[in-house]
Amino acid sequence: QKEVEQNSGPLSVPEGAIASLNCTYSDRGSQSFFWYRQYSGKSPELIMFIYSNGDKEDGRFTAQLNKASQYVSLLIRDSQPSDSATYLCAVGYSNYQLIWGAGTKLIIKP
Amino acid sequence: KAGVTQTPRYLIKTRGQQVTLSCSPISGHRSVSWYQQTPGQGLQFLFEYFSETQRNKGNFPGRFSGRQFSNSRSEMNVSTLELGDSALYLCASSLEGGTEQYFGPGTRLTVT
């Protein structure tokens, strides 16, 4: 059974620091990896996707994928209070389905 | 490009009634997925449609059904509503499924 696990948090990080969010997945057949941000009462918003091993950077966000260890991480540099949200990890498979983690709640403290 | 749209945005129904929710995907996207989200919970996958065919299905009772039209617009229907069906229902579209999904604003359903 395909599973995606995230620490539910909350993860509390001081403003200006680096927030590190982690996600592990169970099935080695996974092909694509996504990070979404969801503010309370709103729908999820795609912030990063990564397909290959290594790092992918976009502004203050860096996604890191390690297929051998079956984990994907999201780093947020220079964290801002507006980054406070729930971050959802999703893993895509060849059957066209995304499997979702339950999300990590991130709190950035001013 | 216009984003994913969902109608209605809010709905109040009585237990036992049925409801139909609508989703219009991003132009060119052929895959539409539906999710249920309750307070404090993650996304619970309902089903995914591609080219008018249900390609994947989650673990929900048969009261939950959906369909997709030739223009990729999708509807989901919930019959015999229960109090536990109160949730945010989200629709997401992608080019072909399994790739990045883009979400609509959701329909907030309250069952009384």
Pick A32's closest partner by Cβ from B31, B43, B99: B99
d(CA B35, CA B46): 5
Alpha carbon distance, N-terminus to C-terminus of chain A: 41
A7 shares contact with chain B (CB less than 8 Å) = no
Predicted pLDDT of residue B12? 98
User: Does residue B97 register a pLDDT over 80?
Assistant: no
Phi and psi (nearest 5°) for A82? -70, -10
Predicted pLDDT of residue B94? 94
d(CA A47, CA A49): 7
Per residue, what are the HEC states of A1-16? CCCEEECCCCEEEECC
Longest dimension (CA), chain A: 43
Inter-chain residue contact A46 with B101, CB threshold 8 Å = yes
d(CA B26, CA B2): 6
Percent of chain B with pLDDT over 90: 91
Peptide bond into B8 cis (omega under 30): yes
CA distances from B1 to A6, A17, A76, B23, B98 (A): 33, 35, 28, 16, 21
Predicted pLDDT of residue A97? 85
Query: pLDDT class for B11, splitting at 50, 70, 90?
Result: very high
Predicted pLDDT of residue A1? 79
Predicted pLDDT of residue B91? 98
pLDDT in tens, A55-103: 999 999 999 999 999 999 999 999 999 999 999 999 998 788 889 999 9
Pick A44's closest partner by Cβ from B41, B48, B103: B103
Predicted pLDDT of residue A72? 97
Q: What is the residue-averaged pLDDT of chain A?
A: 94
Inter-chain residue contact B42 with A101, CB threshold 8 Å = yes
Predicted pLDDT of residue B76? 98
Pick A98's closest partner by Cβ from B50, B101, B102: B101
pLDDT in tens, B44-56: 999 999 999 999 9
